[in-house]
Structure 1
Amino acid sequence: MNTYFVGSRASNLAKAQVREYLAPLRERFPEVTFTHRVILEGGDKDRRSLLSDVSAVSGGSAFSTEQEAALARGDVDVVIHSLKDLPTANPPGLVLMPPPDREDARDALCGATLAGLPKGARVGTGAPRRIAQLLAVRPDIEVVPIRGNVPPRLKKIEAMGLDAVVLAVAGLRRLALDDAIDEILPVDLFPPSPGQGALGIQVREDNTAVQEILSSAGDLAVDAQVRAERALLAELHGGCSVPVGAHAEVRSGGSLSLRAQVTSLDGTRQISGSLSGPLSEPEKLGKALAGELIGQGARSILGEIRAEAAV
């Protein structure tokens, strides 16, 4: 077989990520044909409900369940996700390949700078992590829940009378919307979602042929970073709906540094920490830092958030 089917969501960002990932592979393997297939997710079909409600209906993730099902059925051979959208546990029979080079993992404020926001400013974001981190730094602002793809969220600044919106730098850059960035938020105050900026390349465990081809596109340093971040999230039993931020960096000399933060939804309580360890043991590093955060009371904060969501 010289043709492989590649699945992704329908958004312009998802399509840009597919092009980004496949471009070097098409040059390296001209004899292979990669055919893109769009797969609609629950979060794409329902843009009004809370993502937690959409996930509950789908029985998985609002942005990955349908793609994973298509991959498991054999409708596609590869799925290209935004890694931050993926649950920390792979469904049986599916595995993640090492991702390629990572785009900027940080968040950006579009419409104003943080210091330039007036008192009582209205800032748009629907992510619990971003809401909590904003309120921790600027408790005076009003956070307005918004959803949708990147360009529509930018348009909501004017349409909804917002002062600013928070978006991922990676998505803005992949869509050539860099000009919309007023400030890139520092990772010490606003650590991003685990895996943000990285692609999640998912394949079937038994498909060794496609794994062999895709292995040439992986970046082992990026793989170590995201494995540490996701291991921390898994140890905290977190996901996209909880305010956990984590960011790993490779230091000179080959060590891996990981910082993480857990914040209450109202921003009044925040636990943070950092650790370094060998690049060869990213999961061990993630679990160790999670243990430190748990020792400081992280599970209490996350437990209260889950209890509130269940009401």
Structure 2
Amino acid sequence: MSAQVVRVGSRGSHLAKAMVAEVTAPLREAHPGITWKQHTVMTSGDRDRKSSLTDLGRSEVSVFATALEDALLAGEIDIAVHSFKDLATAPTPGTAIAALPRRGDPRDALCGTPLADLPVGARVGTGSPRRVAQLLALRPDVATTPIRGNVPPRLRRGRELGLAGVVLAAAGLRRLDLGHEITEALDPDAFPPSPAQGVIAVQVRETDTDLYALVAAVHDEATAAAATAERSLLAELHGGCSVPVGALATADGDRLRLVAQVTSLDGTTALRTAQAATLAEPADLGKRAATALLDQGAENILAQIRETPAP
């Protein structure tokens, strides 16, 4: 980092650039003497549009985050802006999460026909094993079609294929000014989102204490507590983007409530728990929720996808 310029690395999608803008706008106000310059880093997940998320997610390291972290550690960028759900639950040595700005809408959204109105046999687009499992749990009479890529192409592809709907993250749609595409924001109690969905993570090198202090201006404690609880749960379940784990923590005063669900890939079994704790103990809350799910037999469900050989 030069005295006046901070290089902000992100993926090259319109959504990634929108997240950079969301982070840097308040930073420019807080630090008017500094220039925050966006740098695009291409990730392996962006290059590979054919493999399923299940296959890509078999690695312990996120395919969407590794290139950004490599660029950060190599000094090619000064901070990395991630979708927090793309980061592995174990921190990458040499890096630190310096700020978690206020969370966007954490819910999943159906773009197309509302869930209750889908006709029998309707096809719904999603490339997420969790979303497939949760859809089948609620509507076993519908079919799912794998669909990947950035948000606008997924919406376009859904229309080209004649799908009844596409499931996407509400936060991404709203950040791209595509909120009008949402026909139903799915109830997170019945359709819990991916852990940390809607949360942006600002990552720095752990030795860059000056940068850490600069980006603290956008940190939100309630968001951090919720994301910590959700990712603690995921870590205890040894999960990643390829396993059907949904979780959402919400703050109410000094209390934090966590709803979590593990769903079998065919949707026939959905194990759920709801736990609460003080806002000061989010990691313990996540661990307790994970234990409750494991006590119900969640490991049997999670083992299914881990033991399924890649095609």
TM normalised by structure 1 equals: 0.97
Does the residue aligned with 2:135 lie in a helix, a strand or coil? Answer: helix
Give the deviation of 1:98 after TM superposition: 3.1
Please give the alpha-carbon distance, in whole angstroms, between the structure 2 residues aligned to 1:270 and 1:9: 34
Give the deviation of 1:74 after TM superposition: 1.1
Give the deviation of 1:53 after TM superposition: 3.6
The one-letter amino acid of 2:16's match is A
The one-letter amino acid of 2:135's match is L
Please give the alpha-carbon distance, in whole angstroms, between the structure 2 residues aligned to 1:97 and 1:261: 29
1:305 match: 305
Q: 2:192 touches 2:260 (CA, 8 Å); kept in 1?
A: yes
Q: 2:53 touches 2:128 (CA, 8 Å); kept in 1?
A: no
TM normalised by structure 2 equals: 0.97
The one-letter amino acid of 2:103's match is R
1:257-296 correspondence runs (5 A)? 257-296=257-296
Give the deviation of 1:61 after TM superposition: 1.5
Deviations 1:161-206 (A, max 9, x none): 1110000100010000111111110011100000000101111110
1:155 match: 156
The one-letter amino acid of 1:234's match is A
The one-letter amino acid of 2:49's match is R
Give the deviation of 1:157 after TM superposition: 2.2
Report the RMSD for the aligned CA atoms in angstroms: 1.3
The one-letter amino acid of 1:211's match is Y
Does the residue aligned with 1:115 lie in a helix, a strand or coil? Answer: helix
Please give the alpha-carbon distance, in whole angstroms, between the structure 2 residues aligned to 1:309 and 1:52: 11
CA gap 1:230/1:203 in 2 versus in 1, 3 angstroms: same
1:91 match: 92
Q: 2:244 touches 2:265 (CA, 8 Å); kept in 1?
A: yes
1:90-129 correspondence runs (5 A)? 90-129=91-130
Please give the alpha-carbon distance, in whole angstroms, between the structure 1 residues aligned to 2:155 and 2:94: 38
1:174 match: 175
The one-letter amino acid of 1:175's match is L
Does the residue aligned with 2:144 lie in a helix, a strand or coil? Answer: strand
Give the deviation of 1:236 after TM superposition: 0.3
Alignment pair present for 1:38 and 2:40 = yes
Please give the alpha-carbon distance, in whole angstroms, between the structure 2 residues aligned to 1:127 and 1:59: 17
Alignment pair present for 1:24 and 2:26 = yes
Gaps of 5+ in 2: none
2:63 match: 62
Alignment pair present for 1:256 and 2:256 = yes
Q: 1:41 touches 1:63 (CA, 8 Å); kept in 2?
A: yes
Give the deviation of 1:59 after TM superposition: 7.3
Does the residue aligned with 1:5 lie in a helix, a strand or coil? Answer: strand
Q: 1:13 touches 1:174 (CA, 8 Å); kept in 2?
A: yes
2:15 match: 13
Q: 1:42 touches 1:55 (CA, 8 Å); kept in 2?
A: no
Give the deviation of 1:39 after TM superposition: 0.3
1:92-241 correspondence runs (5 A)? 92-241=93-242
Deviations 1:70-114 (A, max 9, x none): 111111111001111111111101111231111100001101101
Q: State, as a whole percentage, how many aligned pairs show the same letter.
A: 52
Give the deviation of 1:51 after TM superposition: 3.0
Please give the alpha-carbon distance, in whole angstroms, between the structure 2 residues aligned to 1:61 and 1:187: 24
Give the deviation of 1:60 after TM superposition: 2.6
Give the deviation of 1:117 after TM superposition: 0.6
Gaps of 5+ in 1: none
Q: 1:111 touches 1:157 (CA, 8 Å); kept in 2?
A: no
